[in-house]
Homo-oligomer: A and B are copies of this chain.
Amino acid sequence: MLIRKYHIAIVGATGLVGQEFIKVLEKRDFPLASVHLFASNKSAGKKLFINHREAELKELTRNSFDPVDIALFAAGSEVSQHFIPRAVKRGAVAIDCSGVFGMDDVVPLVVPEVNPQDLENHQGLIASPNCTTIQLVVALNQLHRVSPIKRIVVDTYQAVSGTGSTGVDELNTQTKLVLEGKSGAPHVYPHQIAFNVLPEVDVFWDDGYTKEEWKLSEETRKIFHDDTIAISATCVRVPVIVGNSEAIHVEFSKPISPEDARTILASAPGVKLLDDPSVSLYPYPWSAVGSDDVLVGRIRRDVSHPNGLVMWVVADNLRKGVALNAIQIAEQLISKGLV
């Protein structure tokens, strides 16, 4: 039997997420017919290697998507808004990681471990959620099915790579300066990020929440198909390069014991349990880099709520947080015959 192979486009191929797309595609034995790499015009003409084969970076044009089956978008909201309609019109299925279409009613917002069924009625465009949302819903999904979630309080510890390579450069540069006794002027972030934490991720709304906090709440409700889940979040940037952490306090309809939660999560898709405080075993960002799994630890009863659990959830924000999730969406589309 001939296995069908697919023509894939990566839009934003030179960014941190673009690079992660390439790593994940190489690792997963994806049925690739060809890869088309797109980047800003200043990178056009340069070459990258995928599976030891050279591929040239090209600038996006009106006809770029003619030979493409699946287009992965990670070049920011403006590029997505401009080129996704064109890609879809040319017959490609677009998977967007820019966040700009996630709350559009006709666009499925999908985490394959949680709501793959939402892919069925796609209209050429699927949104991959924000990184903070993905690790939250993967960690909570199987628990939510056992005892529906009423409320989530979550505070995040987010890596600078979520901002892209400029965020990583700023942290590195400022850190060196501070170690030399100098101070590093902020460019990418509103204040110094080296040896500091900033409770500002993305722009502020009028109600005092940031767009990041709002997305985390709205996206979680959409993915769980449950508008009644109450969510309160504070999103915080920390001086970590890769790996987002979340302190999560969940209130369920009925109590779940920590033991039951561990049993459920031990076999939950996409979850890896790392939970033995007696030997300081819990996830942390430095150990999460390169992991496909959402790592869960520090599961304990919420002593402040009869139906509550508290946990600590960490994931590679570039991998499962963006690139891997998008490629898993592509794999689901293929296996369901939806592309």
Contacts and interface: CB of A to CB of B under 8 A. Distances in A.
Contact of A231 (B197, B285, B303): B303
8 contacts: A153-B304, A157-B238, A191-B287, A197-B284, A199-B298, A208-B300, A208-B301, A239-B240
A240 B208 contact: no
A179 B172 contact: yes
Given A208-B258, A284-B191, A157 B236 contact: yes
Interface string A267-300: 0000000000110101011110000000001111
Interface of A: 151-153, 155, 157, 171-172, 175-176, 179, 190-192, 195-200, 204, 207-209, 217, 230-232, 234, 236, 238-241, 243, 245, 247, 249, 258, 277-278, 280, 282, 284-287, 297-305, 308, 310, 312
A240 B286 contact: no
User: What's the dominant secondary structure at chain A's contact region?
Assistant: mixed
Contact of A234 (B208, B239, B247): B247
State the number of copies, please: 2
A291 to B, nearest CB: 14
B280 A232 contact: no
A236 B247 contact: yes
A245 B305 contact: no
Contacts of A305: 151, 230, 232
A155 to B, nearest CB: 4
A195 B277 contact: no
Contacts of A249: 153, 232, 234
A200 to B, nearest CB: 6
A277 B204 contact: yes
Contacts of A312: 199, 234
B232 A286 contact: no
A300 B207 contact: yes
10 smallest CB-CB distances across A and B, nearest first, come from A208-B300, A230-B304, A190-B280, A232-B304, A234-B247, A204-B277, A155-B155, A155-B247, A196-B286, A153-B153
